[in-house]
Every structure is written in C-alpha cells, then in structure tokens.
Structure 1
C-alpha cells in the first residue's frame, strides 16, 4: 500500500510537471510568434511611414486607437472568456458544454462585432469633426476602412480562445504570423497606390492612412480563414469526444450567454480603461496644445512620433507578457478547479520570472540605445525627442508586463472584477496626472509619456496585494528581479560603449547591430554563468 501511495504521488508530480512544462512551452511558442509579429510590424511601418508621411502616420495612429477601443468594447474579453470557460469544462470532460461555450461565444461575437462596425462606419465623421475637433483632418477615411475589421477580429478571437482553452497556442501563433505578413504587404502596397493616386489632393495624408489600415482588414481576414480551416480539421475528433460525453447536465444557451458575459465584460472593461487612456491622451494633447497655438500638423507629427518611437518600441517586449499570460490562464483555471493552490503560485512565479528575463533587459536596452534605434527604424522622426521619451518611460515595459501577468492570474482564480477595479483607479490617477502636466507645465508630448508609464504601476501593486490576500502569493525578489537587473545594467553599459566605439568609424546601422550583438552575448552569458553557479 505504501508503494502504491508513493507511486501515485510520483505520478501526480509527473503530471503536474508535464502540465507546467506544457503551458511554458506553448507560452514560449506564442511569445516567439508575438515578437516576430511585432518585429514585422515595426519593419513594415518604416516604408509605410516613408510613403504616407508624418502627418499621415499621426492620422493612422489616431484611427487605430479608436479601432482598438471598438475592439475592446465589442469583443476583447471573448477570447479569454472562451479560453477560461472551455478549459474549466475540459478538466471535467464536459465536451458538449465546452462546444456550447464556443458556439454561443461565436454568435455573441457576430452581434457585438457587427454593432461596433456599424457605429464606427457611420460615426466616423462625428469622431473627426466633434470629438477630435478637426485636429486630425481626414481621420474618418481610415476609420471607415477599419470598421468591418472589428467584425472579422471578433469572430477570429473566439476561434483562438477555443484552441487556447485546449491548452494549445499553436493555431493562435500561426494565425498571428499569417495575419501580420498579409497586413504588412497590403498596407505598404495600398498606402503607396493611394498616395500616388491622390498625390495632388489636400487630404493625401488621410488616403495614405486609409491604405495602411486596409492591410489590417486583409490580415485579419486571412487569419480567420486559417483558424476556420484548423477548426474544420479538428472538429471530427472533437465530435467523437462529445459523442462519448457522459456528463449529465447540458448548459442552455441562456446560461452560457450569462456565463460568457460575466467573464468577458470585466476583462473587456479592464482593457477598455487602458485603451481609453490612450484615446483620452490623444484628445487632451490635441485640445490643450491647440489652445496654446500649436499647429495641427505639428500636433499630428509629435503624436505620430510618440506612437511610433515610444509606444511601438515598448510594445515589442510586452508581447511576451501577453503570450505567457494567455498560455498561463487555462493552466491556472485547471489548477484552481482542482484546488491546487501551490501549483497556481508556482505558475505565477514562473511566468513572471520568464517575463522579467525579457522585460528588464528591454527596459535597459531601450534606455541606452533608444536614439540609434529610432534613427534606424523611424528616420523621419526627431530621434532626440524619441530617445528622451524612452529614457523617461521605458521602465513602463517592466510594469506593464507585471500588471498583465498578475491580472491574468486573478482572472484565473475567479477574481475577474479585481483587475477592473484596479484599472479604474489607475485610469483616474493617469487622467489627473496627464492633464495636470499638459496644462501646467511645458512638457508637451513628454507629459503623455509620464502618464502612460504611471498607468501600470498602480495596477500591479493592487494586483499583488489581492493575490497575497486570496492565495498567499508572495513575490520572490532576488532571482526574479535583482539578478536580471544587474546583468542588464552590465549589458547596457557594454552595448553603449560598443556603439560609441563603432560609431567612430562606422555608420549608425553597423554600430547599432554590433551593440545589439554584444548586448545579447553579455546578457545571456551572465545568465548562463549565474545558472551554472546556482544563483539563477
């Protein structure tokens, strides 16, 4: 009997390790795809920016912020809700109910996504002339192009959530890559053709921005076709599982609608606060700067610099956090359903540790090499201004990463409303701080950077307190933060010295590539030594 108990214990431990490794491996796959997607996004934005110009890019960025808000309000919470609810049912082998979640969510996505698409399409002129007070002339054009994309992405998210609920991130990863490749090709081509066709028009910048947004629509449609194909291939196998489903109670459509709404709406509201903060920043910046006599084209250019040189660059490493959180969520849900609190704590700790291994050196790297990176990627913009933005706000990479992971952890343990409450508190602080800096200082665009960087700090602190109260989670410091920080500082100094040395006899591109290679060798070399010595 004793041997049997030990054997069962070893088997359970083996299963737990397998589950833990699976979510980390799949999270890693999704993270790599996310990084590639963001790299492709940065690369294609270079020719797109050169084609549509700084003013066109400012219009493009504003239209994209509105599009993101529409996505969040209409369907952002659905993928995570589907993933969470499907995972919880698969743990108990409720295959029919899991499929019911998918069908109901797909129907809801078509309703909410369709409604949002219609609102954007017919409300584009109101947004341009009333909300933005004409500060971004022609923004209604790219908004109308983006409108049907909301419906496509709504359905796409449900398919991705269904597969994520099964614990596999591969369909999501591949569809994201396909989406971005098509997006890049169509955006550049359409932007070029429309700018050339309307070269003499006063609103040529708006036409260029509209061409850029067309790629978003075509990319999303391509991704939807791919996940739809994968679903059709997988459906016979899942149908066989449903045929052998012995779970007695079948959930009704009404029950599932209520469950999906109760799960998705808090997630949606929490993310809405973040996206609303970006739109409010655009509105406050445009109106306050206009009130002190700043020209509309200057507002568009500086805002475009902010959205490219700062927002886009800090979003690159943050993709790892989003991917690992998406992978962690169904795993945490499964552990919570089985009452394995220690497993939950271990998964949160492992996810944050992996993320900090990327986020901390990214923060140091962007701080030290921000100027050269902007010169390479966005030569049209003021690299000194962009570099200062990164020096002020690159620390946001670390806090956005931690707030994303801890919010996902709270959602996994059925504390879905907590991240919403924390995001609302942070939004209020963010608005007051940013408005005050814009109104009473001469910081200008740097006020947006400070406000943006402050947003995730409060969320993370409140999330951490909640996790401690609910599951006794204590954040480990030395391995998670101190070791990567020390290694990153040494890396940053080595990279900066390398850049300066090479820049004496070589151009920016060669010097930057040399600095980045040295940075990678120095950082990962230090981590390897620390691991061999048992420090990391």
Structure 2
C-alpha cells in the first residue's frame, strides 16, 4: 500500500511540477516584461513619471476588478469542469461546456466593457484624468474573457503550454505597443502625459488580440486530438444547455470573488488612502499621489513577479484536485495538498526574501533615485507581504479545486472585514506602510482559517510541511544575508568609479546580488536534500552538474 501511495504522490507531484513549470515560465517572463518596460518609460516621462505611474495604477486597479468580473471566474470553472468530465471519460461534455462558455464570455465581455466605458465618470475617484484611461481599457475587456476562457479549456486537459505561450505573446505585444506610443508621444511629439498613459493602457487590447490569435493557433492544431478523445469517450452523459450554463455559473461566482481577492484589497487602498491622507497629513495632492504610486504601482508591479509563482501553482492545482475529488481518492487529495504547499514554500519564500534583500538597487533600477530610502523600504515591506498574498492565491485555489468555494469566500470576507477595521488607524500611524500592513493582517486571518479547514477536512502532511518550512526558511535567510552583503559590497565598489544610485549601476548590483543569493539557496536546498521533496529525481541530476555530494 505504501508503494502505491508513494507512486501516486510522485505522479501527482510530477504532473503538478510539469504544469507549474509551464505556467511559471509564462507568468514570470510576462511579469518581467511588464516590469522592465518601466525603465525606458520612466526616462521618457521625466518629471511626469510618478504622476503617470499613479494614474496608470489607478486605472489598472479598476480595470482589473471589472475584468475579473467580466471573466467571471469562467476559465478556472471551465478548467475544473472539463477536468471533472474528462476524468469520467466524457470528453464530449467538456467540449460542449467550452462552446457554451464562449457565448457566455462574449456576452459578459460586451456588458462589462460597456460598464467600464460609460461608467468611467463614476469610477474616477474625483480625478478626471482617469476617465480617458478607463475608456482605453474598456476595449481590452471586450476580448480578454474569451481569451481567458480558452486558456481554461486547455488547462482542463492539463495542457499548460498554450496558456503560458499565449501569455508571453500577449505581454510582448502589449509592451512593444506601450513603449512605441510612449516614445512617440513624449519624445517625438512632446505631447500630453495623460494621452501617453491612455495609449499605454490601450496596449492591453493589443496584447489581448495577439494572445487570442496564439490560442486559436493551438486550438486548431489540437482539434483532431480533441475529436479523437470525444470519439473514444463513454458518451453516456447528456447534459442540457441550460444545465451547462448553470454548472458554469455556479462554479464561476465564487471564482470571481476569490480571483479578485488581491485586487479588492488594492481597491480598498485606492479609495481610502487619498481621503485618509488628506485628513491626517499636510501633504499636497502630488505628494499623496507619489506615495500611492510608491506602494500601489511601483512596488506592486515588482512583487507581482513573485506572486506569479503562486498563481502558476494555483492554476495547476485546481484541475488536479478536481480530478482527485471526482475519483474519491482521499490519499491523492492529501498528497496534492502537501505538494502544492511544499512547492509554494520552496519558491515563494526565497523569491520574496530575495527581493527584499535587493530592494534598494532594484527599486532604483526601475524607478530612479527619487524617494530613494523610503521607496526601498516600501518595496521591502511589500516583498514580505507578498508571501501572504501568494499563500492566499494558492490556498483559495485549493479550496476551489475541492469544491469548497462558498467556505473560501466566507473566509475571504472575514479577512476583508479585518483589513477594513485596521485600515484607518494603520494609515494614520504608519502612513504609506499602513495599507501594506492592513493587507498582511487581513490575509493572515483568511489564510489561517483556510489552512485550518483544509487540515481538518482533507488533510496534509504536517510533519513534511514543517520540515520543508524549516529547511527552506534557513536556506532563504542565508540567501538573504548573502544578498544584503553583496549589495553593500557592490555599492561600495561602484562608488569608487561612478554614482552607485544610477539606473545602470543599480541594475548591475541587483542582478549580481540576486544571482549569487539564488545560487546559495539552490546549493543549500540541494545539499540538504530539501529540493528532493519538490523536484524528485531531477535533484540528482542538478547535484551531479553542480558536483554536490
């Protein structure tokens, strides 16, 4: 029995690792592209950079929420339902669900885009510059739901490559358009910075168009394979169109709330930070806008690179857990829970601490030396908070995969209530750090409630997770210390020849420190065999290449 259990655990871990590798690669490359563009963008915006980035972030937070509602959790719901019926060898039902979902997603895209476009004056928060930004973003809402739905369909088959590649193509097209229009408007035409921001946000539509075309290519390439699966299905289940819509919607609604979890917290910050700061401080509107940009736009863009690791795990976990639940395999469910939490710790903790270690040069490389110390401290705190953000992304996805949607939503609302309660006093006493700490407290509560429930009703290997946490924690802390020392030495050496706070110098220090720190972490986890828990047999080949005994 133990051999069977172990083989099941290894198989589920390998499947999750393979899927996560694709989703992680696509997500990280996309996030890196989405962060790197800021360097030339900042140069071209000049003195308008902080205001431009704040406006960009303000519009994007609203857009993200509307988009999540427009997508309505349908991709994850489709992935879950397709995986459910595929496990029953009823591939035809999964395809019918996808086709019905296309109609639903197209309708939601049209409705949500109209709300965003025509409702822009009601959502601008008193800033008229937000209106043209929201108008430009409405076009993306038209087609992204259909694109996301198709990604969910592929994920239901545990085919992560089409999603990952389309995600990268989408981001690449978006960044190219952003940079081209920003350069032309600001450098060539010396135009209005609000117009440049509006074109930068319209780039979301350009990226979505290219991402959709990429998915279409993969769908037609795989169409014969899908038809073959349908032909060899049991074909014993007949689901009426009305029931298909009911299943999609029933699964989707909780995904809306949980998928929008981080965005909802950011919207709370967006609509409370400005009025609270106006009442408690003597800062001007420009200064408050700069502070908002510092934590809500600048730092957030960088920590989302780390959180994308958690998102990749979450996307992979849902269909796998749904399949295990459909088969009634409690051992596999426990194994999957242990695997996803172990993989989360192995990747997210060192990523967050690594970013905190190089926060100073990293922030200067992307956003310049303005507010140098304060901005670096904000990024440091944001990096630590990102661990709790990523954990919520993963744990809520696990609950969804196990059909515990309503309970997960309940726990999220409790965490949201806690954030709302502590928001005002924390901003009052901690200023720009207040929203970050309130988010940490709210998510800490939500994560605790979810993990407690998972432990009591589905289980995970606490002993294995504790051991992983200790080893990962030690390795991450050693990596952090080494990276901090490398930053100090790097700044000291560069100061002999040049300004250590310049963009290029800061980028060099950040990259070298990150590489050295990352190597230390990899070496420690391979040496202590901690990586074996996550990577399995792949660890042996890595040890051989690095000559680790």
User: Does TM-score exceed 0.5, indicating one fold?
Assistant: yes
Aligned-pair distance for 1:478?
3.2
**TM-score, reference length from structure 1:** 0.91
**Match of 2:25?**
32
Q: How many pairs were matched up? A: 519
2:211 aligned residue: 223
Pick aligned residue for 2:83 from 87, 90, 94: 87
Deviation string for 1:72-130 (max 9, x for gaps)? 112141110000000000011112211111011111111111101001111112222xx
Q: Distance in 2 between matches of 1:301 and 1:221?
A: 32
**Aligned-partner Cα distance in 1 for 2:10–2:513:** 38
The residue correspondences of 1:70-85 to structure 2 (distance < 5 A) are: 70-85=66-81
Contact conserved, 1:396 with 1:456, CA < 8 A, in 2?
no
Q: Is the 8 A contact 1:40 1:180 kept in 2?
A: yes
Gap change, CA 1:519 and 1:10, over 3 Å in 2: closer
Identify the range of structure 1 (189-198 vs 360-369) with the bigger mean alpha-carbon deviation.
189-198
For residues 445 and 213 of structure 1, what CA distance do their matches in structure 2 show?
A: 25
2 CA distance for matches of 1:376 and 1:434?
31
Q: Is the 8 A contact 1:96 1:245 kept in 2?
A: yes
The 3 A distance-change label for structure 1 pair 98 and 49 is same
Assess, with a 3 A threshold, how the Cα gap between structure 1 residues 381 and 431 changes in structure 2: closer, same or farther: farther
Give the corresponding residue for 2:172.
181
Contact 1:51–1:208 (CA<8 Å) still a contact in 2? no
**In the alignment, does 2:55 pair up with 1:59?**
yes
Question: In the superposition, relative to structure 1, how do residues 316 and 96 fare at CA in structure 2: closer, same or farther (>3 Å)?
Answer: same
CA positional deviation for 1:327: 1.0
Equivalent pair of 1:352/1:480 in contact (CA under 8 Å) = no
Please report how far the alpha carbon of residue 44 of structure 1 lies from its aligned counterpart in structure 2 after TM superposition: 0.8
Q: Choose 256-265 or 290-299, whichever is displaced more.
A: 290-299
What is the RMSD computed on CA atoms of the aligned residues?
2.3
Q: Which moved more, 1:169-178 or 1:392-401?
A: 392-401
Q: 1:260 to 1:211 in 2, by over 3 A?
A: same
Residues 359 and 398, structure 1, Cα contact 8 Å, conserved in 2: yes
For 1:15 and 1:273, how far apart are their aligned partners in 2? 32
**Alignment gaps of 5+ in structure 1:** 1-5
Q: Matched residues in 1 for 2:159 and 2:318: separation?
A: 12
Cross-structure match for 1:357: 346
Q: Pairwise mapping of residues 188-267 of structure 1 onto structure 2 (< 5 A)?
A: 188-196=179-187, 199=190, 204-267=192-255
* Structure 1 residues 2-151: aligned runs within 5 Å: 17-52=10-45, 53-128=49-124, 132-134=125-127, 137-151=128-142
Decide whether aligned partners of structure 1 residues 462 and 107 sit closer, same or farther in structure 2, where only a CA change above 3 A counts: same
Give 2:415's match in structure 1, choosing from 426, 431, 441. 426
Q: Residues 442-521 of structure 1 correspond to what in structure 2 (within 5 A)?
A: 443-476=430-463, 477-506=465-494, 507=500, 508-521=506-519
2:360 to 358, 364, 371: 371
Counterpart CA distance in 1 for 2:21 and 2:11 is 15
1:301 aligns with 2:287: no
2:381 to 372, 392, 398: 392
Query: What is the deviation of 1:15?
Result: 6.7
Q: Which whole-Å CA distance do the structure 1 matches of 2:121 and 2:60 have between them?
A: 15
Deviations 1:175-210 (A, max 9, x none): 01101111111011112223357746xxx2321211
Q: Secondary structure, in 3 states, of the residue corresponding to 2:277?
A: helix
Inter-partner Cα distance in structure 1 for 2:37 and 2:531? 42
Closer, same or farther: CA 75–170 of 1 in aligned 2, 3 Å: same
Aligned-residue offset at 1:532: 8.6
Q: Distance in 2 between matches of 1:152 and 1:339?
A: 37
Change (3 A) 1:533 1:387: closer
